Structures are given as C-alpha cells and as structure tokens.
Amino acid sequence: MAPVTWGFTASLDGFITGPNHDMSWMSGLGSLAEGTVEDLASQVGVIISGRRGYDAAKAQAADRDELTSEAYGGAWSGTEFILTHRPEELADDTSVTALNCSIAEAVDRARSIAGDRDIQIISADIARQALEVDLIDELQIFVVPVFLGDGTRIFDVPGGRRVDWELTEVDEANTGAWFRRFRPTTR
C-alpha cells in the first residue's frame, strides 16, 4: 500500500511559505547534491495539495524560478489532487484533479493511482487534517538556513496539539539545507 508522506521545505523559524505563499526564499536552499531532487521525485506517485497554494502558484507563475514553478522543479510527473470546496473552478486546468472531499477520501483515491509510490501531501493545512485521522506515515523535511518571520507555519493548531516524531533517516549528502525523515511515534 502506498505510504502517505508529508513533504516540504521549511525555514529555520518554521514556515513553509513566506507571506502570501511567497516561495522566492527557497533560493536560499543552495545547491543540492546531484540527483537529490530526481531521487525524491521518483518516489512520489500522487501529490495532494490545497487550493490556497494552487492559487498562489498560479498568481506568482511569472515570478517563480525553476525550483518553485513546478513540483520538484519539474522533475516529478504524476497525478496532483487539489482539495477545494469549489472544484468546478479548476475544471479547465487539465494538469490537476480538483476534489471536494475529506483527506481520507482523497488518500483512498490516491492509493488506487500511486501503486507502491508515495502519496505526498504538500499543504500544511491538509497535512494537519491527515494527522487528525492518523494518515501520515512519514514526514520529509528540508530545512533552509533562513528566517522568514511570517507566512504559512509548518503546523498551526489553535490551542496546540502535540505530535511526537521519531527520526528515521539523516541525509548527509546535502549540507546547505539539511534533510531528515521522521515517522510519527503513535503509528
């Protein structure tokens, strides 16, 4: 069965986007070891993202660089689900599949497509929803040495919610930004 991963790049102060979903800060990622992006991309069969990120990417298309204009800098190909309450508004975009359903339903649909490759969530809000129903098998995080001060937090739950993670892999090949894999200890 396809594992559900939550994958993202974050700033040192815990943001995955800058204000207004700005991604220009990712230029601070520096150069990655050869094959890193391609290797990670090859593991993903389906991406699940959210409407706010989709809209921001479309609005910023002219300003985004090679790394942030497409998933994995264009190295990934597969099916992308956009979770939205207004799927009809995305009907003309044949590069994505718009769904109005729960994260559990979206994961079930993704499993029929992904085979043994990952189902990767790239939205903080959708990942939070997936954690609430115990769907996340792995967390994949690159941390970039930059402070953003504002933007989309990695994990934002009013009133708080504790989720403990166990380190499963350390990437020694990339030193400009560090990459780690974790699994939730409650699974």
- At residue 176, the pLDDT reads 76
Both structure tokens of 165: 């993670």
Q: How far from each other are the two terminal CA atoms of the chain, in whole angstroms? A: 15
DSSP-derived secondary structure for 41-94:
HHTEEEEEEEHHHHHHHHHTTTT--HHHHSGGGGT--SEEEEE-S-GGGGTT-T
- CA angle centred on 39, ends 34 and 44, rounded to 5°: 150
> Residue 187: which residues within 8 A CB-CB, separation 6 or more?
134, 137
- CA angle centred on 152, ends 148 and 155, rounded to 5°: 110
- Helix 103-114 to helix 124-132 angle (10° resolution) is 100
Which stretches of the chain score pLDDT less than 50?
none
80, 71 in Cβ contact below 8 A? yes
Strand-strand pairing, 4-11 and 138-144: parallel
- At residue 68, the pLDDT reads 57
Full-model pTM: 0.89
- At residue 113, the pLDDT reads 95
Both structure tokens of 108: 């079930």
pLDDT digits (tens, 9 = 90+) for 110-119: 999 999 999 9
- At residue 70, the pLDDT reads 67
150, 172 in Cβ contact below 8 A? no
pLDDT digits (tens, 9 = 90+) for 47-64: 999 998 888 877 776 665
12, 147 in Cβ contact below 8 A? yes
The CATH H-level superfamily of 34-184 is Dihydrofolate Reductase, subunit A (3.40.430.10)
